[in-house]
């Protein structure tokens, strides 16, 4: 029984939204999910947030795609400049799977054969399973025959991963979230965990109640500020100035952990030399945090018995995102706050499986398990493993692929065809007018999804896929836990499991795959991926996951419980040491000026997930937050003569939205915050596509806008 409802079945799975990875049970009656319970998983201990608890009914929404669709002959692709048709039937016709797959794969194969492997690209999904991510990248690498494969990690933590791989030799977290309970102090920077990782935030709040000091460092004062010991509301874009000031104070005040620095770091002298000019007193006017607070925080962090740093996209989504993360690595290292329980680095991963999709090789420069494609040894291993020649050059990243779709016809690397599985770049990419134009310009676009997303509207073929509760598979959360979800219900109509679609596409592209077994051979695919991941998940067998649901990696053997804390003895770098990389201030690409005087900060909110394709079709979540709002500080609203609820037009050099206003005094004066989940006021119409040079991540957290009263939302 669930409340007064009798259920037919209870099926164990994992929440499909954020990277916390709460374990859940679906309660099913008459083939429908009627409620969700939290399970006693290692990341959640029975807790769920509003999305996990109430965000399940999107799977039963009347707008689910149930038949393959083919664009009608002669219907042009609208790149977003014309009003969207009321009904997809004006644009698409229904087709059989045979016809749709033949067209989808046949045209991609034809483009590859006519223009070469570089003419194709694929976006996989961090919302799919590890097995789907693994098969998708394998399809692109062996079927399209290039490394033009990427996914939304490029829009999320790519710069953090670039800095971590360079500095500590591994892109994953060093300590799990609930290790904050072993810390005396935690720094939460560029992250709003009560909205974006709500159950992770409960561990932080619990720790604070027991005496752990929380330092919240963010341009916006968010809810966690209520629990913080110190709030450092630094000016957006001044992360490096603030963090170098902390490093300076630790070193100058003699608080560096000399043993750790001597035995476990490299390049310390260069770092020390670099931060000499970054005293707290010199940086205070730049970053807006008083020098005394910077010194207080530096002292408390360096002298804590255990201290963790957790960060989000406020750190990563800048042109200096990699430098921001380099500074965090350096701060932890000089203080010796890494490599033991309660001391470490944790980039809070966004999507439920962004960690796993990256591990599985859904990135253009790496095979599974972060083996570089331009490393001859790694390539040779995968060539043998997959029995096919492989491209030796990294492929293009998400935003680069959009540029290449609009390249001149004479460009041999012009992208002409794409296969997009479960991502929505027509909402999630920066500078949407450009991105939508690029997608509309493709000669052939295949989209595999649950709904007619903004991207699917631009497709030639739409393949109706399965939602997470409709399939069995594994996902890997922010804590490096590989977790199993089991199929609870069947997909609606003619919609198919993604693993089935991928294998049908592969066969028609000319690949000879043979994965046998239940649920489209998911166990066999997992086992192949496990081999491709080498030691990392060697001890996590499919059978073990059936028994245990969740196992942490690295896990070297079947009786290894997994390692919740890593780097305890050495770092997986060439010399076993952390490489300290000095960073200097690089300004945001587009700063406010007289014409565009405000800073636009984009992000997420508690109730809606990313581009909103799922949560905006979940009744409870949509009822709580039914429409887009822009948040501004009360002082700015007064200056502009605005009241909460008024409509304003927010405009950048690239696009504009008309949107209702919400007062939020946690938003700094001079800035406006807009969540990117709403297609009717798409924040990314305005964002700047300029990239961090290392992680190739766009500067979503900073561009110049004007705010003008009025407009039609």
Which residues contact ligand SF4 (rule: CB under 6 A)? Answer: 15, 17-18, 20-22, 44, 48-49, 51-52, 197-199
Q: b/e string for 499-528 if b means 16 or more Cβ within 10 A?
A: bbbbbbbbebbebebebeeebbbbbbbbbb
Residue 550 φ then ψ, to 5°: -145, 125
Which H or E element spans position 672? strand 671-675
Q: Which is nearer to ligand SF4, 55 or 395 (CB)?
A: 55
Q: Which is nearer to ligand SF4, 56 or 567 (CB)?
A: 56
Do the strands 647-651 and 550-552 form a parallel or antiparallel pair, or are they unpaired?
unpaired
Q: Report the nearest approach of ligand SF4 to the CB of residue 199 (Å).
A: 4
Q: Which whole-number Å values give the CA distances from 509 to 107, 145, 418, 460, in the listed order?
A: 9, 11, 13, 17
Q: Report the nearest approach of ligand SF4 to the CB of residue 127 (Å).
A: 12
Q: Which whole-number Å values give the CA distances from 623 to 607, 617, 619, 620, 646, in the listed order?
A: 10, 10, 6, 5, 20
Q: Which is nearer to ligand SF4, 205 or 660 (CB)?
A: 205
Q: Is-contact 428 449, C-beta < 8 A?
A: no
Q: Report the nearest approach of ligand SF4 to the CB of residue 312 (Å).
A: 13
Q: Report the nearest approach of ligand SF4 to the CB of residue 42 (Å).
A: 12
Number of separate helices (H) and strands (E) present in the chain: 23, 30
Angstrom distance (rounded) from CA 162 to CA 181? 28
Q: Report the nearest approach of ligand SF4 to the CB of residue 301 (Å).
A: 26
Q: Report the nearest approach of ligand SF4 to the CB of residue 231 (Å).
A: 23
Q: Report the nearest approach of ligand SF4 to the CB of residue 201 (Å).
A: 8
Q: Reading across the β-sheet that carries 32-38, which strands appear in turn? A: 9-14, 23-29, 32-38
Q: Report the nearest approach of ligand SF4 to the CB of residue 179 (Å).
A: 17
Q: Which is nearer to ligand SF4, 334 or 467 (CB)?
A: 467
Q: Which is nearer to ligand SF4, 197 or 654 (CB)?
A: 197
Angstrom distance (rounded) from CA 253 to CA 332? 16
Q: Which is nearer to ligand SF4, 54 or 567 (CB)?
A: 54
Token pair in block for residue 302: 């360096």
Residue 530 DSSP SS3: helix
Q: Is-contact 201 214, C-beta < 8 A?
A: no
Other CB atoms within 10 Å distance of the CB of residue 98: 11
Residue 185 DSSP SS3: strand
Angstrom distance (rounded) from CA 486 to CA 542? 12
Q: Which is nearer to ligand SF4, 198 or 395 (CB)?
A: 198
Angstrom distance (rounded) from CA 382 to CA 532? 8
Q: Which is nearer to ligand SF4, 51 or 60 (CB)?
A: 51
Q: Report the nearest approach of ligand SF4 to the CB of residue 206 (Å).
A: 14
Residues paired with 474 in a beta bridge = 484
Q: Report the nearest approach of ligand SF4 to the CB of residue 310 (Å).
A: 14
Q: Which is nearer to ligand SF4, 468 or 571 (CB)?
A: 468
Q: Which is nearer to ligand SF4, 52 or 361 (CB)?
A: 52
Q: Report the nearest approach of ligand SF4 to the CB of residue 296 (Å).
A: 31
Q: Report the nearest approach of ligand SF4 to the CB of residue 185 (Å).
A: 23
Angstrom distance (rounded) from CA 227 to CA 646? 31
Whether the link from the prior residue into 532 is cis, omega within 30° of 0, is no
Q: Which is nearer to ligand SF4, 18 or 399 (CB)?
A: 18
Q: b/e string for 609-640 if b means 16 or more Cβ within 10 A?
A: bbbbbbbbbbeebbeebeebbbbbbeebbeee
Other CB atoms within 10 Å distance of the CB of residue 262: 10
Q: Which is nearer to ligand SF4, 198 or 364 (CB)?
A: 198
Question: Residue number with the shortest CB distance to ligand SF4?
Answer: 52
């Amino acid at each position: 029984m669930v409340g007064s409802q009798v259920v037919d079945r209870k099926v164990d799975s994992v929440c499909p939204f954020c990277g916390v990875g709460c374990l859940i049970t679906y309660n099913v009656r008459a083939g429908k999910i009627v409620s969700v319970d939290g399970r006693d998983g290692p990341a959640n201990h029975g807790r769920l947030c509003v999305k996990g608890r109430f965000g399940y009914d999107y799977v039963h929404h009347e707008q689910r795609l149930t038949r393959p669709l083919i664009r009608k002959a002669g219907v042009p692709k609208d790149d977003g400049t014309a009003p969207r048709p009321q009904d997809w039937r004006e644009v698409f016709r229904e087709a059989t799977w045979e016809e749709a797959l033949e067209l989808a794969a046949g045209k991609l194969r034809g483009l590859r054969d006519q223009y070469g492997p570089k003419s194709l690209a694929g976006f996989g999904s961090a919302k799919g399973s590890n097995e789907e991510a693994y098969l998708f990248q394998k399809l692109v690498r062996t079927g399209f025959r290039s490394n033009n494969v990427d996914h939304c990690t490029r829009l999320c933590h790519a710069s953090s991963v670039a800095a971590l791989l360079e500095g500590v030799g591994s892109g994953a977290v060093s300590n799990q979230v609930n290790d904050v309970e072993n810390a005396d102090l935690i720094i939460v920077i560029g992250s709003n965990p009560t909205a974006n990782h709500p159950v992770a935030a409960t561990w932080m709040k619990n720790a604070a109640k027991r005496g752990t000091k929380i330092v919240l460092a963010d341009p916006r004062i968010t809810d966690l500020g209520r629990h913080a010991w110190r709030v450092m509301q630094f000016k957006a874009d001044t992360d490096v100035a603030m963090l170098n000031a902390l490093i300076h104070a630790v070193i100058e005040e003699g608080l560096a952990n000399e043993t750790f620095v001597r035995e476990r770091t490299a390049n310390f002298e260069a770092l020390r030399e670099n931060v000499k000019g970054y005293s707290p007193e010199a940086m205070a006017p730049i970053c807006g945090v008083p020098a005394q607070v910077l010194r207080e925080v530096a002292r408390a962090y360096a002298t804590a018995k255990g201290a963790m740093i957790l960060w989000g996209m406020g750190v990563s989504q800048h042109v200096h995102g990699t430098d921001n993360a380099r500074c965090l690595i350096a701060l932890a290292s000089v203080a010796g706050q890494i490599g033991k329980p309660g001391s470490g680095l944790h980039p809070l991963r966004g999507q439920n499986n962004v960690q796993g999709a990256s591990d599985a090789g859904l990135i253009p420069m790496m095979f599974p398990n972060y083996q570089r494609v331009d490393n001859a040894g790694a390539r040779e291993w995968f060539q043998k493993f997959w029995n096919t020649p492989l491209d030796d050059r990294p492929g293009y990243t998400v935003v680069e692929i959009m540029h290449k779709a609009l390249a001149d016809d004479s460009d041999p690397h012009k992208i002409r065809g794409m296969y997009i599985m479960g991502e929505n770049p027509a909402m999630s990419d920066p500078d949407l007018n450009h991105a939508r134009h690029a997608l509309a310009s493709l000669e052939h676009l295949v989209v595999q999804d649950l709904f007619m997303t903004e991207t699917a509207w631009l497709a030639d073929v739409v393949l109706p896929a399965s939602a997470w509760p409709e399939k069995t598979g594994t996902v890997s959360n922010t804590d490096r836990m590989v977790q199993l979800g089991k199929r609870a219900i069947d997909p609606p109509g003619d919609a198919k499991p993604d693993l089935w679609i991928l294998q049908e596409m592969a066969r028609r592209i000319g690949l000879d795959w043979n994965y046998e077994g239940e649920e489209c051979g998911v166990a066999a695919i997992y086992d192949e991926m496990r081999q491709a991941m080498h030691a990392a998940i060697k001890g996590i067998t499919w059978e073990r996951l059936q028994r245990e649901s969740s196992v942490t990696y690295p896990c070297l053997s079947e009786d290894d419980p997994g390692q919740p804390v890593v780097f305890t003895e050495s770092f997986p770098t060439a010399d076993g040491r952390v490489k300290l990389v000095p960073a200097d201030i690089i300004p945001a690409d587009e700063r406010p000026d007289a014409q565009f005087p405000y800073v636009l900060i984009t992000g997420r909110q508690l109730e809606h997930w990313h581009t909103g394709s799922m949560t905006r079709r979940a009744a409870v979540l949509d009822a709580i937050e039914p429409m887009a709002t822009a948040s501004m500080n009360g002082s700015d609203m007064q200056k502009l003569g605005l009241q909460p609820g008024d409509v304003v037009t927010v405009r950048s050099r690239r696009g504009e939205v008309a949107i209702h206003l919400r007062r939020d005094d946690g938003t700094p004066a001079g800035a406006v915050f807009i969540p990117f989940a709403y297609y009717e006021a798409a924040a990314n119409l305005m964002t700047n596509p300029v990239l961090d040079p290392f992680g190739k991540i766009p500067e979503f957290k900073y561009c110049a806008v004007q705010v003008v009263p009025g407009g039609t939302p």
